[in-house]
Amino acid sequence: MHLQLEHLQQITRRHFLQQSPIGLGAVALASLLERDAPAASRAENPLAPRRPPLPAKAKRVIYLHLTGSPPNLDLFDYKPELVKLTGEPCPDEFLKGKRFAFTSGTPKLLGTPRQFAQYGPGGIWMSDAIPHLHDVAGEMCVIHSMNTDQFNHAPAELLMYTGSPRSGRPSLGAWVTYGLGSENENLPGFVVLISSGVQPNGGKNSFGSGFLPSVFQGVQCRSQGDPVLYVSDPKGMDRDARRLSLDALGDLNEMQADELGHPETRTRIAQYELAFRMQVSVPEVMDISRESPQTLEAYGAVPGASSFANNCLLARRLAENGVRYVQLFDWGWDFHGTNPGEDIRDGLTKKCGTMDKPVAALIRDLKQRGMLDDTLIIWGGEFGRTPFREGRTAGGNILGRDHYPDCYTMWLAGGGAKGGFCYGETDELGFSVTADKVHVHDLQATILHLLGFDHQRLTFRFQGRDYRLTDVHGHVVQELLA
């Protein structure tokens, strides 16, 4: 069916009543302007850099997502009273009316086996599992009172990134690039790096564009092999031949765009051109062997390997080269205690060993280069972990925790966040927020605010209504701002 006719069939009475007073004149004017406009202006680059409408403290984002969700009570939220009560039955008042992913009955309380101390000028509590982060505590804005509505991985991750626990909405990175574009026309505005060999729980929806034009979706890059799949020229085609084929394809797409007016056609033109430029620019940016031995050692990065350390270094290189939003997903933080790797003692020590050093190096590296002030780093998972032992593993020797949405810890650094600062409180056993609750939508609103957007006004019209990342919720947490 002709797309314009299909569009007309979907017009509702709401559209007619809303637009009819000025609609006919606007349609006529738009038709004349479109017909007379040069092709170059009609195919404007959707990733062209744009200024945010409000003053911004952050120009770019590096989001470090620990897929599975780290045990906050063993890393940041120290509970001495819970340690004293380890092994005691969980009080009924903490369990009444609640559901857990893998626990039923009356579980046993579990205090942390880790050693805690306070670090930095703000006296941030941190455990011995993350010794390198101790040294950058002065840059961290720790939120102890995070709260979400979901207690299973995929819905919680989608809520964190898209504002909805169901698939189909644009991700945070897509909203950011939709609002700001990219600072480098030769690189995507939104890049995704995945370590530990597993995709995020929400799948590609966690970095997709939803109903936004697909040019704003995350581009997944790899640290081994071709940095981006399907960007290299096929065998027998050189760069000049590729240029000729793209020109011909561009002419055909322009003809179709003029005839049917589908916005995705123009998006496709922009994507083909970006892919052509990426063939040269991406391999250069992704080559960490260009870094000094001292930098590689600081991150624990190894050229040619696939690791979270490599991805942290790549995140800095991408941000330095104008990528607006870099998303890292690292699998393996689901500490149920079903195997030794999920034990909050040795298992957590080993897993943190892959994260702690490169994240601390990333903060120091950005600060040394003068980039930390306008680069917002976000660290965390999709929810927290229970203050009691996970039901399936409660009788064994391996210590693990179940999923827990009511309170957990995340932290920010740089980009206008208040350094050396803790916000929010939980009760003495870590079951509920007692002060300054921060819902997922509140964090989203605060991130957009730091980037220069009012979260209520960064919208996209779809199916007859204006959508936004925070849905109809959220407020900016002013206390987190420097």
Predicted pLDDT at 233: 62
Q: Which two tokens stand for residue 141?
A: 């804005």
The stretches of 261-345 forming alpha helices (DSSP H) are 263-285, 293-299, 308-320
Percent of the chain at pLDDT above 90? 72
Predicted pLDDT at 251: 73
Q: Which long-range contacts (CB under 8 A, 24 or more apart) does 346-351 make?
A: 347/398, 348/70, 348/71, 348/74, 348/114, 348/129, 349/129
| Buried b or exposed e, range 192-225, using 16+ CB within 10 angstroms | bbbbbeeebbbeebbbbbbebbbbbbbbbbebee
Q: Please state the rounded mean pLDDT for residues 70-82.
A: 98
Mean predicted lDDT score pLDDT of the chain? 88
Predicted pLDDT at 25: 53
Instruction: Collect all residues with Cβ–Cβ distance below 8 Å to 9 and sequence separation of at least 6.
Output: none
- List, for residues 340-357, the tens digit of each pLDDT value: 999 999 999 999 999 999
- List, for residues 34-62, the tens digit of each pLDDT value: 444 333 333 467 888 999 999 999 999 99
Predicted pLDDT at 254: 75
Q: Where are the beta strands (DSSP E) in 175-259?
A: 190-195, 219-221
Predicted pLDDT at 39: 34
Asked if the model's pLDDT at residue 1 lies above 50, the reply is no
Q: Which two tokens stand for residue 129?
A: 């599992």
- Distance between CA atoms of 375 and 419, rounded to whole angstroms? 13
Predicted pLDDT at 197: 84
What is the residue whose two structure tokens read 């680059």?
Answer: 45
Q: Which two tokens stand for residue 367?
A: 């600060």
Q: Which residue type does 422 have?
A: C
Predicted pLDDT at 242: 64
| Buried b or exposed e, range 312-343, using 16+ CB within 10 angstroms | bbbbbbbbbebbbbbbbbbbbbbbbbbeeebb
Asked if the model's pLDDT at residue 26 lies above 80, the reply is no
Predicted pLDDT at 265: 72
Q: Please state the rounded mean pLDDT for residues 145-152.
A: 96
Lowest mean pLDDT: which of 9-23, 120-134, 323-337?
9-23
Predicted pLDDT at 32: 46
Asked if the model's pLDDT at residue 29 lies above 60, the reply is no
- List, for residues 174-201, the tens digit of each pLDDT value: 999 999 999 988 888 999 999 988 899 9
Q: For the beta carbon of residue 102, count every other beta carbon within 10 angstroms.
A: 14
For 435, counting Cβ atoms within 10 Å of its Cβ (0-12 exposed, 13-18 middle, 19+ buried), the class is exposed
Q: Which residue type does 172 have?
A: L
Contact 155, 289 (CB under 8 A): no
For the entire predicted model, the pTM comes to 0.85
Q: For the beta carbon of residue 394, count every other beta carbon within 10 angstroms.
A: 17
- Distance between CA atoms of 39 and 44, rounded to whole angstroms? 9
Q: Are strands 384-389 and 401-404 parallel, antiparallel or unpaired?
A: antiparallel
Asked if the model's pLDDT at residue 27 lies above 60, the reply is no
Instruction: Collect all residues with Cβ–Cβ distance below 8 Å to 273 and sequence separation of at least 6.
Output: 246, 250
- Distance between CA atoms of 412 and 420, rounded to whole angstroms? 10
Q: Please state the rounded mean pLDDT for residues 127-146.
A: 98
Predicted pLDDT at 221: 84
Higher pLDDT, 229 or 97: 97
- Distance between CA atoms of 43 and 37, rounded to whole angstroms? 10
H/E element holding 353?
A: helix 346-368
Predicted pLDDT at 172: 98
Predicted pLDDT at 304: 87
Lowest mean pLDDT: which of 12-26, 79-93, 239-253, 381-395?
12-26
Q: Please state the rounded mean pLDDT for residues 98-124.
A: 95
Q: What is the DSSP string of 296-314?
A: HHHHT--TT--SHHHHHHH
Q: Which two tokens stand for residue 343?
A: 């034990």
Residue 124 is given by DSSP the state E
Q: Please state the rounded mean pLDDT for residues 457-472.
A: 95
Contact 374, 397 (CB under 8 A): no
The phi-psi region of residue 36 (left if phi > 0; otherwise alpha if psi is between -120 and 50; otherwise beta) is alpha
Predicted pLDDT at 153: 96
Q: Please state the rounded mean pLDDT for residues 282-309.
A: 92
Asked if the model's pLDDT at residue 231 lies above 90, the reply is no
Q: Please state the rounded mean pLDDT for residues 418-432.
A: 97
